Structure 1
Amino acid sequence: MTQVDLLDLDASLTEDERQIRAVVRQVVDDLVRPHVAGWYEAGQVPARDLAREFGKLGLLGMHLTGYGCAGSTAVAYGLACLELEAGDSGVRSLVSVQGSLAMYAIWRYGSEEQKQRWLPAMAAGEAIGSFGLTEPDHGSDPASMATRARRDGDDWVLNGTKMWITNAPIADVAVIWARTEAGVRGFAVPMDTSGVTAREIARKMSLRASLTGEISLADVRLPADAELPGATGLKAPLSCLTEARHGIVWGALGAARDCLETALTYATNRTQFGRPLAGFQLTQAKLADMAVEWNKGYLLALQLGRLADAGKLRPEQVSVGKLNNVREALAIARQCRTILGANGVSGDYPVMRHANNLESVLTYEGTSEIHQLVVGQRLTGVSAFT
């Protein structure tokens, strides 16, 4: 039960789901909250150490089956993302990119040899993965990617650049998407391959407790078995994004909840004009509106999770969730900042950090505008992308 649960939402969860949530909440309290403000300020995070700890708990690729993965439900995975992002969006991104992008791509589209090579180590947090789709000049339009893979005898040779890639500076393997004569294909690229370089992107004002990089590929020669044999066409990487966006739908609620609970505590304890801030009508109106939106977002996430567990979740439904929940979470963070006044911009409170992070979450894995067009196409039957 959380302070902002107005609708007895816990009753909608199974006992196993509540237990998984409690475990993740505890590990965030132990490993993340005491340190995350410092990580954010320094722009550094002990990602490998965190990955190993998360691996011990089965959080990496937790919704996948086999190869050391926990095989949990989509709802349980969503609850884990919520608790992780209540700590920090960057920490949730570490888990999400590892499990729902890099591991999922190999799990769904890789060969048995690729799965055996990478997935157990990634599930344990001993190997870190990244997902190379976005490029410097091609973000929302991945169909225009410039990265190319060409055949040279039995080998593949890759050239191109990927940008804004989470985990890239420390990754052991990157799932790289490239255009070939036969269309878009995916490759499991060991990061120690000759011609592969990763440069950390510095001076970020958001997601500072997350490692983000640029991957350059200069005549990178790979054996034929580096190709993901099941990945044909752009639908393959897009399906991975759908998988990851489901975690974002839940994760954004975690950041919003942390802001809202911080504002509630602050408003109750802070006295102005002889009474607690919580006793003023304008403050209560803000808190009520935010709590209502949070509960609506939770119900939306839960519905999507149940659809996913039933094998019925469609991409445009995930777009509804990502569009609504991230947008509302950012609005909640901004509104909570006003309740804290000047203290709202202090690193002693998590609200501005969450607000800054959510600016990135609003953009990555599909901007709000892209998701609006996905929903619009579903409603009208007409594509507005071109």
Structure 2
Amino acid sequence: MQKVLLIGALLATHSVLSAQTVSGSWYGHADVDMAGVHNNYLTELVIKQKGNRVEGIFGYYFRDKYQSFFIHGRYDPKTREITIKDVPVTFYGSTSTLNSVDCNTQFVGLLIHSRAGSTVKGALYADPKYKYTCPSIKVNYILDKSDNQTDSTIEAGVASARIWKPQPDDVVVNAITANTPAATTPVTAPAVSEPAPVAPPPAPDSARAATQPVAAQANAGPVATPAPPPVDPVKEEKKKIEESFAKRKPVVNRVLEVESDSLRLSFYDNGEIDGDSISVFVNKQIALSHQGLDARAFNLFLHLDSTRDINEISMFAENLGRIPPNTALMVLTDGRNRYEVFMSSSLTENATIQIKRKKAKAIAQQ
């Protein structure tokens, strides 16, 4: 009997240890460990464990840019701690990712298994001598149980990292710049080789009028009328959609509180594929148009406008397809939470969701 119990205990121990692997596809969000509200990061970690070593891909989406890198690190099965050195991360205070600088960090995380799921919680730590310039970034990863292609993803390389990476047909939108009126291009007059003659002032009397040169009057040709600027069909189409959008009634489907200022919105056809086509508006400004709804989603990566208490996402029906009304399933992800919203638009109404950013204090208490 004791042998049976001992064998059972050994098998249970082996089962627990084998379940402590860190291999898999992890996704989540990273927040700057400082007081106040800051831009945060959507991030993914696709890794494979080989004994005490791990390798794979680290990627993150910040503001309007996605970056990914091959990484190597160590995993301690006793403490369940994973360490990855030399992870470059865009400086959190960068206002633009075009000319941004990177903070070189080290990731240290703890693997946690529970009935609710598997998580890796940790932080990206900068070199101590740069701790005031590059503060720590808290990271919370969740295991993607649906992804069974960790090996093929790593072997395919950085280009295949797919959780947050915008694909060629996806759209990245900054809600702040999206609501800034576009600058108008001034229409300039055609260049001339010499200045145009200045018309003389009106003559006060007939004697003075007689002194005006007759030849100049005879040689004066007709005044050229500048040609109107060419019509831009893309701008005209956009204008028509915006005018139609303004005439329709906004119907708020749902109000969501999110924990990140960077979101991924995925739009699918809700039901039978029947030729529905939509435009998406961010804070009443058109973000993209002529998007057909299909079984395969199109994605919109959105950086929220932090100066607004509420950001609005609206779906404008360009047609009703074969089966009215125009319906879509929108999946919103903020790196920790996933929301599914069913949206329905007609030729008189725009489906709208309102997005609020959770307060930093509320996030910290979770």
TM-score tier by shorter-chain length is under 0.3
Q: Structure 2 length normalisation: TM-score?
A: 0.26
The answer to which structure has the higher strand fraction is 2
The answer to which structure has the higher helix fraction is 1
Larger radius of gyration: 2
Q: Structure 1 length normalisation: TM-score?
A: 0.25
Tell me which of the two structures has the higher relative contact order, counting C-alpha pairs closer than 8 angstroms and 6 or more residues apart.
1
